Amino acid sequence: MIADHHIIALKALVDANGSTTEKHDLEPFVTEWRDKFIGKTQLMLSPKTTDEVAAIIKYCSTHQITVVPQGGNTGLVGGSTPGINGADEILINLRRMTSVHNVNAEDYSVTVDAGCTVSMIHEAAIASDRLFPLSLASEGSCTAGGVASTNAGGVHVIRYGTTRALVLGVEAVLPDGSIIDALTPLRKDNTGYALAQLMIGAEGTLGIITKVCFKLYPSEKKRSTAWLALPDANSALKLLSMARDITGDQVSVFELMCRPALDFAFNHIPDLRDPISDIYPWYVLLECASSDAASDINIKVQTLLEAALEQNLIVDGAIALSEQQRELFWHTRESLSEAQKHEGGSIKHDISVPVSTIPKFIEAATNAIHAKYPDARVTPFGHMGDGNLHFNVMQPANQAKADFLSHWEDMNRLVHDVVIEFGGSISAEHGIGILKKDELSRTKPSANLAAMRAIKHALDPKNIMNPRVLFSD
């Protein structure tokens, strides 16, 4: 238990609306959105300024009170849930820090508070005829600080990179309460360690990000979107290279989906209909875009599809002829995760391998699962253009959910061992959090882990910043 006098002192560091101790009010903030992690806390603080964050952390450092930072609470690995396994941690939620400080169209940059949602940043960019390219299904809730802390990916990484590539600068409060000012729109700055980048993907273990300066791009003026059916995953690999070549590298989305994942969506999500009437084993959502309003991108995509048909890389397809049709394609793709919930238990693997090995990886990992669990339903889909798949394994229809989920760790090992064999990563997008820390310590080279621990210890010697994530004890 954190002593009452600490709770009173911490509450005094924020305004009257900046703290909560009521169990009922705290409930949504201590529960992960899939109910996978349910934690607890005695106190949630919601500061409004960087100085308030700094004062809170200084107090916590002095009194060795551990803290968990939280943005939109959309993370998928338990990193933003305080008090799992009974730990005494206060929650610091950044959602009241929502100012957009500066959109500089000529610098192609935007500076925002950590609590701004990704949708807010999109709106600010659009108002200046610019593009903020980070795009993920949680964008209405996830925050600048959260996407930076998890180095979020999404559907545009193939063209614009992950959040790490989009961050120009960061302001952050370190675990001793000091504030680092690396909040710059500079594209070039070779003055020692890249402190802003150190905070990216740190999952709240090295400090609290309070502001972020992101890169912007010219807005997309013309787009061509296609829903394509393929005979096999190998054809998708060839199609990807062909698409990059023929369009002059204007591919902004390349999403691979297996048929069973789509069947779940068509069975469970209302208002969806299959863009193609016949059934095929694999599908690709392809989008190409240009910032040139006079671009011939539509013609280039048609040329691509003709060439791909000729070589049997695609067997059927539809190009979106209206914004409504494009939205249907997108809605279908974005429904896949939600649809799986209705099919019972699923054991998910958010992995990446070199792009060129995706077809072989799918085959090897599927074989590894089926050798031991022949009835498990393997349903991979994801950001193939980045070598990133959600390699999900669904419970067989005739098995009880709890029984299936009891094989979680074994299936993780089976899939992750194949990932490592292919030179891949056990977490491409979602981070490590609490969920994957044991697998991280099993699969990461020990010298790499030791270097990570040394950085953590140097910045957070009292281990107060999100101490239960990333590292196994």
Cβ density class 369-378: b for 16+ within 10 Å, e for less: beeebeebbb
Rounded distance between C-alpha atoms, residue 8 and residue 12, angstroms: 6
Candidate residues 13, 60, 68, 308; the one interacting with ligand FAD per rule CB under 6 A = 68
Q: Is there binding between residue 204 and ligand FAD (CB under 6 A)?
A: yes
Q: Min. distance of Cβ 90 from ligand FAD in angstroms?
A: 12
309: its two tokens: 């048909």
For the sheet containing 89-93, what is the strand order?
19-20, 44-45, 89-93, 66-70
Q: Min. distance of Cβ 86 from ligand FAD in angstroms?
A: 18
Rounded distance between C-alpha atoms, residue 389 and residue 351, angstroms: 6
Which residues from 438-457 bind ligand FAD, rule CB under 6 A? Answer: none
In this structure, the strands spanning 89-93 and 66-70 are: parallel
Q: Min. distance of Cβ 2 from ligand FAD in angstroms?
A: 18
Stretch that binds ligand FAD, among 203-211, 227-235, 260-268, 398-406 (CB under 6 A): 203-211
DSSP classification of residue 252:
E
Q: Is there binding between residue 137 and ligand FAD (CB under 6 A)?
A: yes
Q: Is there binding between residue 378 and ligand FAD (CB under 6 A)?
A: no
Stretch that binds ligand FAD, among 20-28, 58-66, 120-128, 425-433 (CB under 6 A): 425-433
Stretch that binds ligand FAD, among 21-29, 69-77, 245-253, 366-374 (CB under 6 A): 69-77
Closest Cα partner for 345 from 390, 297, 377? 377
Q: Is there binding between residue 90 and ligand FAD (CB under 6 A)?
A: no
Please, are residues 92 and 47 in contact by the beta-carbon 8 Å criterion? yes
Q: Is there binding between residue 154 and ligand FAD (CB under 6 A)?
A: yes
Q: Min. distance of Cβ 300 from ligand FAD in angstroms?
A: 26
> How far does CA 86 lie from the centroid of its chain?
27
SS (H, E, C) 326-384: HHHHHHHHHCHHHHHHCCCCEECCEEECCHHHHHHHHHHHHHHHHHHCCCCEEEEEEEH
Closest Cα partner for 224 from 300, 173, 130? 300
- Name the residue nearer to ligand FAD (CB basis): 70 or 235: 70
Stretch that binds ligand FAD, among 131-139, 255-263, 303-311, 353-361 (CB under 6 A): 131-139
Give the residue nearest to ligand FAD (CB). Answer: 146
Q: Is there binding between residue 80 and ligand FAD (CB under 6 A)?
A: yes
Closest Cα partner for 111 from 176, 171, 51? 171
Q: Is there binding between residue 466 and ligand FAD (CB under 6 A)?
A: yes
Binding residues vs ligand FAD (CB under 6 A): 33, 68-76, 79-80, 94, 114, 136-138, 142-143, 145-147, 149-150, 152-154, 203-204, 208-209, 337, 429-430, 433, 466, 469
